[in-house]
Amino acid sequence: MVNDSPRKKVLVFRELPPDQLARLQAQHDVSVANPREPEQLAAFNAALGSAQGMIGASYPINEAVLACAPRLQVISSVSVGVDNYTLSALAARGIVLCYTPGVLTETTADTIFALVMATSRRLVELANHVREGHWSRNIGEELFGWDVHGKTLGLLGFGRIGQAVARRAALGFGMPVLYHSRHPVNLATAAPDLLGKAVHTPFDDLLQRADIVAAVLPLSNETRGLMGPREFGLMKAGAIFINGARGAIVQEAALLQALNQGGLRAAGLDVFATEPLPMGSPLRRHPRVTALPHIGSATFETRHAMAELATTNLLQALAGERPLAVFDTSAGLSPAPLAGQRDGPVTG
Protein backbone atom coordinates (compact mmCIF):
# COMPACT_ATOMS: atom_id res chain seq x y z
CA MET A 1 0.00 0.00 0.00
CA VAL A 2 2.57 2.58 1.17
CA ASN A 3 6.17 1.92 0.11
CA ASP A 4 8.75 4.61 -0.55
CA SER A 5 11.47 4.93 2.16
CA PRO A 6 12.17 2.26 4.80
CA ARG A 7 11.96 4.25 8.05
CA LYS A 8 8.78 6.29 8.40
CA LYS A 9 7.61 8.88 10.87
CA VAL A 10 5.02 7.31 13.15
CA LEU A 11 2.88 9.21 15.66
CA VAL A 12 1.49 7.16 18.55
CA PHE A 13 -1.45 9.17 19.88
CA ARG A 14 -2.55 6.85 22.65
CA GLU A 15 -0.15 4.86 24.78
CA LEU A 16 0.75 1.39 23.47
CA PRO A 17 1.99 -1.54 25.55
CA PRO A 18 5.82 -1.52 25.66
CA ASP A 19 6.22 -4.65 23.51
CA GLN A 20 4.09 -3.15 20.73
CA LEU A 21 5.83 0.21 20.95
CA ALA A 22 9.14 -1.64 20.62
CA ARG A 23 7.93 -3.35 17.42
CA LEU A 24 7.26 0.05 15.91
CA GLN A 25 10.50 1.59 17.15
CA ALA A 26 12.52 -1.25 15.64
CA GLN A 27 11.39 -0.24 12.18
CA HIS A 28 10.34 3.41 12.31
CA ASP A 29 10.97 6.80 13.92
CA VAL A 30 8.30 7.02 16.59
CA SER A 31 6.88 9.99 18.50
CA VAL A 32 4.46 9.40 21.34
CA ALA A 33 2.02 12.21 22.19
CA ASN A 34 -1.51 11.83 23.54
CA PRO A 35 -3.52 14.92 22.59
CA ARG A 36 -6.05 14.20 25.35
CA GLU A 37 -3.32 15.12 27.84
CA PRO A 38 -3.10 18.94 27.73
CA GLU A 39 0.66 18.93 28.29
CA GLN A 40 1.16 16.62 25.29
CA LEU A 41 -1.02 18.51 22.82
CA ALA A 42 1.79 20.71 21.49
CA ALA A 43 4.00 17.66 20.86
CA PHE A 44 1.08 15.95 19.10
CA ASN A 45 0.51 18.95 16.86
CA ALA A 46 4.22 19.21 16.10
CA ALA A 47 4.51 15.51 15.19
CA LEU A 48 1.46 15.68 12.91
CA GLY A 49 3.38 17.77 10.41
CA SER A 50 5.73 14.94 9.48
CA ALA A 51 3.67 11.87 10.45
CA GLN A 52 3.29 9.24 7.74
CA GLY A 53 1.57 6.76 10.02
CA MET A 54 -0.53 7.21 13.15
CA ILE A 55 -1.71 4.69 15.70
CA GLY A 56 -4.04 5.27 18.63
CA ALA A 57 -7.64 5.76 19.62
CA SER A 58 -10.07 7.94 21.52
CA TYR A 59 -9.36 11.18 19.69
CA PRO A 60 -11.32 12.68 16.82
CA ILE A 61 -9.25 12.74 13.65
CA ASN A 62 -11.25 15.21 11.62
CA GLU A 63 -10.55 17.56 8.72
CA ALA A 64 -8.81 20.08 10.97
CA VAL A 65 -6.37 17.45 12.30
CA LEU A 66 -5.82 15.99 8.84
CA ALA A 67 -5.04 19.43 7.45
CA CYS A 68 -2.05 19.52 9.80
CA ALA A 69 -0.84 16.10 8.59
CA PRO A 70 0.08 16.60 4.92
CA ARG A 71 2.26 13.46 4.71
CA LEU A 72 -0.16 11.07 6.42
CA GLN A 73 -0.65 7.76 4.60
CA VAL A 74 -2.18 5.43 7.18
CA ILE A 75 -4.05 5.60 10.49
CA SER A 76 -4.26 2.45 12.58
CA SER A 77 -7.06 2.74 15.10
CA VAL A 78 -6.89 0.65 18.27
CA SER A 79 -10.66 0.23 18.14
CA VAL A 80 -13.36 -1.46 16.10
CA GLY A 81 -15.58 1.63 16.12
CA VAL A 82 -14.43 4.17 13.55
CA ASP A 83 -16.70 7.04 14.57
CA ASN A 84 -13.73 9.18 15.59
CA TYR A 85 -12.56 9.46 11.99
CA THR A 86 -14.01 11.63 9.27
CA LEU A 87 -14.20 8.85 6.72
CA SER A 88 -15.01 11.02 3.73
CA ALA A 89 -11.87 13.12 4.35
CA LEU A 90 -9.72 9.99 4.68
CA ALA A 91 -11.19 8.58 1.46
CA ALA A 92 -10.63 11.89 -0.36
CA ARG A 93 -6.96 11.91 0.69
CA GLY A 94 -6.46 8.19 0.04
CA ILE A 95 -5.42 7.67 3.67
CA VAL A 96 -5.72 4.02 4.72
CA LEU A 97 -7.72 3.38 7.91
CA CYS A 98 -7.05 0.17 9.83
CA TYR A 99 -9.09 -1.04 12.81
CA THR A 100 -9.37 -4.00 15.20
CA PRO A 101 -12.46 -6.10 14.46
CA GLY A 102 -12.89 -9.50 16.07
CA VAL A 103 -10.29 -9.44 18.83
CA LEU A 104 -12.60 -7.55 21.21
CA THR A 105 -15.86 -9.24 20.28
CA GLU A 106 -16.19 -11.72 23.14
CA THR A 107 -14.93 -9.31 25.81
CA THR A 108 -17.34 -6.59 24.74
CA ALA A 109 -20.19 -9.10 24.66
CA ASP A 110 -19.23 -10.09 28.22
CA THR A 111 -19.46 -6.45 29.29
CA ILE A 112 -22.85 -6.00 27.67
CA PHE A 113 -24.17 -9.16 29.27
CA ALA A 114 -22.76 -8.04 32.61
CA LEU A 115 -24.88 -4.90 32.25
CA VAL A 116 -27.92 -7.05 31.48
CA MET A 117 -27.33 -8.98 34.69
CA ALA A 118 -26.43 -5.93 36.78
CA THR A 119 -29.50 -3.94 35.81
CA SER A 120 -31.97 -6.83 36.06
CA ARG A 121 -30.72 -8.18 39.36
CA ARG A 122 -29.78 -4.74 40.77
CA LEU A 123 -26.29 -6.01 41.51
CA VAL A 124 -24.53 -2.69 42.04
CA GLU A 125 -27.34 -1.29 44.18
CA LEU A 126 -27.45 -4.43 46.33
CA ALA A 127 -23.68 -4.68 46.65
CA ASN A 128 -23.72 -1.09 47.88
CA HIS A 129 -26.53 -2.05 50.27
CA VAL A 130 -24.17 -4.53 51.90
CA ARG A 131 -21.10 -2.28 51.69
CA GLU A 132 -22.92 0.63 53.30
CA GLY A 133 -24.11 -1.44 56.25
CA HIS A 134 -27.83 -1.60 55.41
CA TRP A 135 -28.06 -5.41 55.43
CA SER A 136 -29.50 -5.73 58.88
CA ARG A 137 -32.40 -8.03 57.98
CA ASN A 138 -33.39 -10.20 55.04
CA ILE A 139 -34.24 -8.06 52.04
CA GLY A 140 -37.87 -7.62 51.08
CA GLU A 141 -39.71 -7.12 47.81
CA GLU A 142 -38.55 -3.54 47.53
CA LEU A 143 -35.09 -4.88 46.67
CA PHE A 144 -36.08 -7.87 44.56
CA GLY A 145 -34.71 -8.11 41.04
CA TRP A 146 -36.07 -9.29 37.72
CA ASP A 147 -35.27 -12.64 36.12
CA VAL A 148 -32.97 -12.55 33.12
CA HIS A 149 -33.44 -16.12 31.89
CA GLY A 150 -36.39 -16.46 29.57
CA LYS A 151 -36.77 -12.72 28.94
CA THR A 152 -36.84 -11.47 25.34
CA LEU A 153 -33.66 -9.67 24.30
CA GLY A 154 -33.82 -7.09 21.50
CA LEU A 155 -30.48 -6.34 19.86
CA LEU A 156 -29.99 -3.17 17.85
CA GLY A 157 -27.12 -4.36 15.65
CA PHE A 158 -26.34 -7.99 14.96
CA GLY A 159 -22.76 -8.02 13.77
CA ARG A 160 -19.78 -9.60 15.50
CA ILE A 161 -20.62 -8.32 18.99
CA GLY A 162 -24.39 -8.50 18.62
CA GLN A 163 -24.18 -12.17 17.68
CA ALA A 164 -21.82 -12.87 20.57
CA VAL A 165 -24.33 -11.28 22.96
CA ALA A 166 -27.11 -13.29 21.31
CA ARG A 167 -25.18 -16.52 22.01
CA ARG A 168 -24.87 -15.69 25.68
CA ALA A 169 -28.57 -14.86 25.85
CA ALA A 170 -30.05 -17.63 23.72
CA LEU A 171 -27.70 -20.50 24.49
CA GLY A 172 -26.89 -19.64 28.09
CA PHE A 173 -30.04 -18.03 29.41
CA GLY A 174 -32.79 -19.42 27.19
CA MET A 175 -33.73 -15.96 25.98
CA PRO A 176 -35.59 -15.47 22.72
CA VAL A 177 -33.57 -12.94 20.69
CA LEU A 178 -34.95 -10.36 18.29
CA TYR A 179 -32.48 -8.32 16.30
CA HIS A 180 -32.60 -5.26 14.11
CA SER A 181 -30.09 -4.49 11.37
CA ARG A 182 -30.48 -3.12 7.87
CA HIS A 183 -29.88 -6.53 6.33
CA PRO A 184 -31.06 -9.84 7.76
CA VAL A 185 -28.23 -12.21 8.66
CA ASN A 186 -28.17 -15.61 6.98
CA LEU A 187 -27.95 -17.63 10.17
CA ALA A 188 -27.49 -20.92 8.36
CA THR A 189 -24.09 -19.77 7.15
CA ALA A 190 -23.08 -16.95 9.55
CA ALA A 191 -24.30 -18.29 12.89
CA PRO A 192 -25.87 -21.75 12.63
CA ASP A 193 -25.93 -22.09 16.43
CA LEU A 194 -28.46 -19.24 16.51
CA LEU A 195 -30.80 -20.75 13.90
CA GLY A 196 -34.35 -20.57 15.22
CA LYS A 197 -33.14 -18.58 18.23
CA ALA A 198 -32.62 -15.06 16.78
CA VAL A 199 -35.15 -13.36 14.53
CA HIS A 200 -34.67 -10.32 12.28
CA THR A 201 -37.33 -7.88 13.43
CA PRO A 202 -38.40 -4.39 12.30
CA PHE A 203 -37.09 -1.67 14.59
CA ASP A 204 -40.42 -0.52 16.09
CA ASP A 205 -41.63 -4.07 16.49
CA LEU A 206 -38.45 -5.00 18.39
CA LEU A 207 -38.81 -2.03 20.75
CA GLN A 208 -42.40 -3.00 21.48
CA ARG A 209 -41.67 -6.69 22.12
CA ALA A 210 -38.29 -6.85 23.87
CA ASP A 211 -37.95 -6.94 27.66
CA ILE A 212 -34.33 -5.86 27.37
CA VAL A 213 -33.10 -3.72 24.47
CA ALA A 214 -29.34 -3.54 23.89
CA ALA A 215 -27.62 -1.26 21.37
CA VAL A 216 -24.58 -2.80 19.64
CA LEU A 217 -24.37 -0.93 16.37
CA PRO A 218 -21.92 1.64 15.01
CA LEU A 219 -22.37 5.36 15.46
CA SER A 220 -23.04 6.93 12.07
CA ASN A 221 -25.20 9.69 10.68
CA GLU A 222 -28.00 7.11 10.46
CA THR A 223 -27.74 6.00 14.08
CA ARG A 224 -26.91 9.27 15.83
CA GLY A 225 -29.78 10.00 18.22
CA LEU A 226 -31.50 6.75 17.20
CA MET A 227 -33.04 6.25 20.65
CA GLY A 228 -35.18 9.31 21.35
CA PRO A 229 -38.54 10.05 23.03
CA ARG A 230 -40.56 8.15 20.42
CA GLU A 231 -38.35 5.07 20.63
CA PHE A 232 -38.21 4.94 24.43
CA GLY A 233 -41.99 5.51 24.36
CA LEU A 234 -42.42 2.38 22.27
CA MET A 235 -40.56 0.19 24.76
CA LYS A 236 -42.54 -2.06 27.10
CA ALA A 237 -43.38 -0.77 30.54
CA GLY A 238 -40.75 -2.20 32.88
CA ALA A 239 -38.20 -2.85 30.13
CA ILE A 240 -34.45 -2.31 30.42
CA PHE A 241 -32.19 -0.41 28.04
CA ILE A 242 -28.48 -1.22 27.60
CA ASN A 243 -26.01 0.81 25.55
CA GLY A 244 -22.79 -1.01 24.65
CA ALA A 245 -22.21 0.85 21.40
CA ARG A 246 -21.62 4.61 21.41
CA GLY A 247 -23.22 7.24 23.63
CA ALA A 248 -24.44 9.48 20.83
CA ILE A 249 -26.80 6.76 19.61
CA VAL A 250 -28.99 7.76 22.55
CA GLN A 251 -30.67 11.09 23.23
CA GLU A 252 -29.75 11.19 26.90
CA ALA A 253 -32.52 13.64 27.86
CA ALA A 254 -35.06 11.22 26.39
CA LEU A 255 -33.49 8.33 28.30
CA LEU A 256 -33.73 10.25 31.56
CA GLN A 257 -37.33 11.15 30.81
CA ALA A 258 -38.10 7.47 30.15
CA LEU A 259 -36.48 6.51 33.45
CA ASN A 260 -38.14 9.24 35.48
CA GLN A 261 -41.57 9.59 33.93
CA GLY A 262 -41.87 6.69 31.49
CA GLY A 263 -41.90 3.07 32.35
CA LEU A 264 -38.23 2.22 31.89
CA ARG A 265 -37.09 -0.05 34.71
CA ALA A 266 -33.36 0.57 34.42
CA ALA A 267 -30.53 1.45 32.07
CA GLY A 268 -27.06 -0.06 31.79
CA LEU A 269 -24.66 2.27 30.04
CA ASP A 270 -21.05 1.69 29.05
CA VAL A 271 -20.92 4.72 26.77
CA PHE A 272 -22.06 8.34 26.90
CA ALA A 273 -22.48 11.28 24.54
CA THR A 274 -19.62 13.02 26.32
CA GLU A 275 -16.83 10.98 27.88
CA PRO A 276 -15.72 11.02 30.58
CA LEU A 277 -19.28 11.51 31.79
CA PRO A 278 -19.54 15.12 33.05
CA MET A 279 -19.71 15.51 36.83
CA GLY A 280 -23.10 17.20 36.55
CA SER A 281 -24.73 14.52 34.40
CA PRO A 282 -27.87 13.15 36.08
CA LEU A 283 -26.94 9.74 34.66
CA ARG A 284 -23.98 9.58 37.02
CA ARG A 285 -26.06 9.17 40.18
CA HIS A 286 -29.42 8.00 38.91
CA PRO A 287 -30.52 5.13 41.17
CA ARG A 288 -31.66 2.97 38.27
CA VAL A 289 -28.67 3.59 36.01
CA THR A 290 -25.63 1.33 36.05
CA ALA A 291 -22.94 3.48 34.47
CA LEU A 292 -19.55 2.10 33.44
CA PRO A 293 -16.53 4.11 32.26
CA HIS A 294 -16.49 2.72 28.70
CA ILE A 295 -14.94 -0.64 29.58
CA GLY A 296 -16.40 -2.77 26.78
CA SER A 297 -13.03 -4.13 25.71
CA ALA A 298 -11.02 -3.20 28.80
CA THR A 299 -9.37 -6.42 29.91
CA PHE A 300 -5.60 -7.04 29.96
CA GLU A 301 -5.86 -9.73 27.31
CA THR A 302 -8.15 -7.91 24.93
CA ARG A 303 -6.57 -4.47 25.11
CA HIS A 304 -3.22 -6.14 24.40
CA ALA A 305 -4.67 -8.10 21.49
CA MET A 306 -6.13 -4.88 20.08
CA ALA A 307 -2.79 -3.08 20.36
CA GLU A 308 -1.01 -6.02 18.74
CA LEU A 309 -3.42 -6.18 15.81
CA ALA A 310 -3.30 -2.40 15.36
CA THR A 311 0.51 -2.45 15.41
CA THR A 312 0.60 -5.29 12.87
CA ASN A 313 -1.86 -3.38 10.67
CA LEU A 314 0.32 -0.28 10.76
CA LEU A 315 3.56 -2.14 10.09
CA GLN A 316 1.98 -3.97 7.18
CA ALA A 317 0.57 -0.78 5.67
CA LEU A 318 3.87 1.05 6.05
CA ALA A 319 5.67 -1.89 4.40
CA GLY A 320 3.39 -1.63 1.40
CA GLU A 321 1.48 -4.80 2.29
CA ARG A 322 -2.27 -5.16 2.69
CA PRO A 323 -3.03 -4.90 6.42
CA LEU A 324 -5.00 -7.63 8.19
CA ALA A 325 -7.90 -5.28 8.93
CA VAL A 326 -8.61 -2.29 6.70
CA PHE A 327 -11.83 -0.32 7.07
CA ASP A 328 -13.52 0.63 3.81
CA THR A 329 -13.69 4.42 4.19
CA SER A 330 -15.79 4.75 1.06
CA ALA A 331 -18.56 2.62 2.61
CA GLY A 332 -20.53 5.65 3.73
CA LEU A 333 -20.55 5.71 7.52
CA SER A 334 -19.96 9.39 8.06
CA PRO A 335 -19.01 9.99 11.63
CA ALA A 336 -18.15 13.26 13.28
CA PRO A 337 -18.03 14.04 16.99
CA LEU A 338 -21.08 15.83 18.34
CA ALA A 339 -20.92 19.59 18.05
CA GLY A 340 -19.34 20.95 21.19
CA GLN A 341 -18.01 17.54 22.21
CA ARG A 342 -14.44 18.03 23.33
CA ASP A 343 -13.33 14.44 23.31
CA GLY A 344 -14.24 11.54 21.15
CA PRO A 345 -15.35 8.25 22.62
CA VAL A 346 -12.74 6.09 24.25
CA THR A 347 -11.43 2.86 22.87
CA GLY A 348 -13.75 0.11 21.78
Q: Among the options 23, 294, 303, 308, which is catalytic?
A: 294
222 is catalytic: no
Q: Is 149 noted as a catalytic residue in this protein?
A: no
Q: Does 162 bind ligand NAP (CB under 6 A)?
A: yes
Which of 44, 158, 232, 327 forms a contact with ligand NAP (CB under 6 A)? 158
CA atoms of 99 and 93, how far apart (whole Å): 18
Whether the CA torsion 144, 150, 152, 153 is positive or negative: it is positive
The binder of ligand NAP chosen from 60, 247, 337, 348 (CB under 6 A): 348
- Please pick, from the candidates 25, 31, 88, 101, the single residue that binds ligand NAP as defined by CB under 6 A: 101
Q: Which of 182, 189, 279, 300 binds ligand NAP (CB under 6 A)?
A: 182
In the complex, least distance from residue 160 CB atom to ligand NAP, rounded to whole angstroms: 4
Span near ligand NAP by CB under 6 A; candidates 43-51, 55-63, 138-146, 215-223: 215-223
User: Nearest CA to 348 among 234, 257, 218?
Assistant: 218
Position among 51, 55, 80, 310 found at the interface with ligand NAP (CB under 6 A): 80
Which sign does the torsion angle of CA 278, 284, 289, 294 carry?
positive
DSSP 106-160: HHHHHHHHHHHHHHHHTHHHHHHHHHTT--SS---GGG-----TTPPEEEE--SH
Are 53 and 76 a contacting pair, CB within 8 Å? yes
List, edge to edge, every strand of the sheet that includes 9-12: 29-32, 9-12, 53-56, 74-77, 96-98, 326-327
Site membership for ligand NAP, residue 245 (CB under 6 A) = yes
Q: Which stretch binds ligand NAP (CB under 6 A): 12-20, 38-46, 153-161, 253-261?
A: 153-161
Q: How many residues bind ligand NAP (CB under 6 A)?
A: 30
**Is residue 108 within the footprint of ligand NAP (CB under 6 A)?**
yes
Q: Active site includes 275?
A: yes
Let me know: does 218 contact 81? Beta carbons within 8 Å. yes
Residues known to be catalytic: 246, 275, 294
